[in-house]
Amino acid sequence: MIRQACAVVSVFAMSIGVPAAQQAANGAAPPAGGFKDLKSLYTSLPTAKAPLLDRDQALLLATMPLSCVDRPLASPPARGYLWEASYRPPDDYQRNLAFYGCYDWHSSVNSIWTLVRIVKHYPDLPIAALVKQKLSKHLDKSNIAGELAYMKTAGQFERPYGYAWILKLTAEIADWKDPEAQKWAANLAPFAEWTSKEMAQFFKSLPDANRGGAHANTAYAMFLMLDYVDLMKDDPLRASIVENAKRFYEKDKNCDTKSEPAGTDFLSPCLTVAALMSRVMERQPFLTWLDAFLPPMNSPVFKPLLEPVDTGGNRPDRLAGKSHLIGLAFQRGQVMNRLADVLPPGDLRADVLRRLVAIHGVRGMEGMHDAGYYGSHWLGTYAVMYMVAQEAHGRARQ
C-alpha cells in the first residue's frame, strides 16, 4: 500500500510543474506555475492514504528510539554535557543523567517521548516491558535531578527546542494512568517547573523570533510547549507564549514561501507560524490574519509548500541534510493537519490540506529508512507526531 502511494506521489512531484499536465487537469492554461482556482488544485492532487499509528506501525517505530537511548551522544570538539576533557564520559553518568543517547540531547529527550507515547497507547506490545525498563532507568529521580542541576548552569544550551521537548515529555507522562508513569511524572515535575519559568522569561526577553527552519525556530518551540500548557494548566507560560507570539507574528504578512526549504530545514517556517497562531488567536481574527499571511493555495507563490519534499537520492546524504528533509515531510503534514482542523466547515482549503497531509506523510515514510543513524535517532519521533496529529483529526471528525 505504501509503495503504491509512493508511486502516485512521485508522479505528482514530477508532473506538478509541467504546464501541459496542469492544463489537462484544469481544462485551461493556469497562471504561470499556478492553478485557476482551488477546485482545480484539489482535483490535480493524487489521493494517498496517510500513514496511521496502528499496532504494527507502533512496534516498528518504537525500535528506532529503543536502539539508541543508551548509545552515548556524539563527542563534541570540546568538553560538554557528557564528555569530559579526556573524551570519556564520567563513570556515574547513567545514574546522574537521563538524556545521554540518540546522538544529541534534544533527540534523546524526544526519543524518550516517542517510547512513552507508543507504549502508553499500546501497552501489549512485545517490547513494552523492555521499554518500561529503559524508562525507569532514564527517568529515575537521581537522573532527572542531575539533568536539572546541569541545565541550571548550561546557559543557552538547548534553548528553546530541547526545553520544549522536556515540557512535552512531562505532559505525555503526566497524562499516563500508570503507577510507574506517575512516579516518573513526579521525578520530572521540578525540572518541568523550572523549564517553564525559564521559557516564560526567555520569550519575554527575546528581541525578535528566530524564523529559520531548524532547532532555533521560535514558533515551533512555542507550538510544542502548548501541549504542556494545555494539559498542566500552566497559565504563566501560556500568557508569555500568547503575548510574545502576537508580538512576533501578528503583523506578519506575505510569508516568504519561496525560501522553503533550505538545505537543512526540518521545519516549515511559514506553516509553523500559521499553526502556532491558530492556537493563540481567536478563530475569526486568526482566519483574517491567515489570509494575509499565507498566499492563496492555487497561486504560484504557494507552490514550494505544495510540492512533496524530495527525500530520495537527489538530496545530500551527508550529515543532517537528507534526514532533515525527510523530517520536514512529516512536520509539514503535522502542521497542515492543524490548519485544516481550524478552517471553517466547507472551506475547500481544508480539503486541499488533507490531501497534502497524506502526500507528505507517504513521502516521509518512503525516505525515513534511507537516512542511516543521522535519521534513525530522531525520524521515528517526527513520524509519530505526524500520526498523532492524524489521530487528533480523526477524533475531531467523530
35 belongs to a structural domain: no
Give the span between the Cα atoms of 122 and 52, in whole angstroms.
14
Asked whether the predicted pLDDT for residue 28 surpasses 60, the reply is no
Q: Among 104-113, 202-211, 274-283, 365-374, which stretch is predicted with the lowest mean pLDDT?
A: 365-374
The confidence score (pLDDT) of residue 256 equals: 94
Mean pLDDT in residue range 195-209: 98
Per-residue pLDDT band at 391 (split at 50, 70, 90): confident
Q: What is the DSSP letter of 83?
A: -
User: What domain count does the chain have?
Assistant: 1
- CA 97 to CA 105: how far, in whole Å? 11
- The CATH number linked to 349 is 1.50.10
> Are 323 and 371 contacting, i.e. CB atoms less than 8 angstroms apart?
yes
- Residue the block writes with cell 570538539: 77
Query: Does residue 265 have a pLDDT over 80?
Result: yes
**Distance between CA atoms of 9 and 309, rounded to whole angstroms?**
10
Please say if the pLDDT value at position 219 is more than 60. yes
The pLDDT-based confidence of 57 (bands split at 50, 70, 90) is very high
Whether 1 is covered by a domain: the verdict is no
Statement: residue 2 has pLDDT above 80: no
Q: Flag whether 94 is in a domain.
A: yes
Q: Could you tell me which residues come within 8 angstroms of residue 15 by beta carbon, excluding any fewer than 6 positions away?
A: 21
- Write out the three cell numbers for 96: 546522574
363 located within any domain: yes
CA distance 248 to 219: 9
C-alpha cell at position 18? 509541467
Residue 40, domain member (yes or no): no
Residue 85 pLDDT: 56
Q: How far, in Å, CA of 326 to CA of 366, rounded?
A: 9
- Which of 32-36, 122-126, 135-139, 342-346 bottoms out in mean pLDDT, i.e. has the lowest? 32-36
91 lies in a domain? yes
pLDDT of residue 77: 56
- 8-25 pLDDT, tens per residue? 444 344 334 333 333 333
User: Measured between alpha carbons, how far is 9 from 3 in angstroms, rounded to an integer?
Assistant: 10
Question: Within a domain: residue 5?
Answer: no
**pLDDT(240) > 70:** yes
pLDDT tens column, 30-55: 355 679 999 999 999 999 999 999 99
The rounded mean pLDDT for the chain is: 86
Grid coordinates of 50: 496517510
Q: How far is CA 67 from the centre of its chain?
A: 20
State residue 76's pLDDT score. Answer: 64
HSE of 165, CA atoms in CB hemisphere, 13 A: 23
Query: pLDDT tens, 300-355?
Result: 999 999 877 665 554 444 445 678 888 999 999 999 999 999 999 999 999 999 99
CA 359 to chain centre: 17
Helices (H), the chain: 2-15, 19-26, 38-44, 55-66, 93-96, 105-121, 128-138, 141-151, 161-174, 179-205, 218-232, 235-249, 269-280, 283-293, 303-306, 321-342, 348-367, 373-376, 379-397
The residue-averaged pLDDT of 187-192 equals 98
Could you list the residue range(s) of the whole structural domain that residue 277 is in? Answer: 51-397
28 in a structural domain:
no
What pLDDT band is residue 1 in, cutting at 50, 70 and 90? very low
- pLDDT at residue 151 tops 70: yes
For residue 233, the tally of other CB atoms under 10 A from its CB is: 8
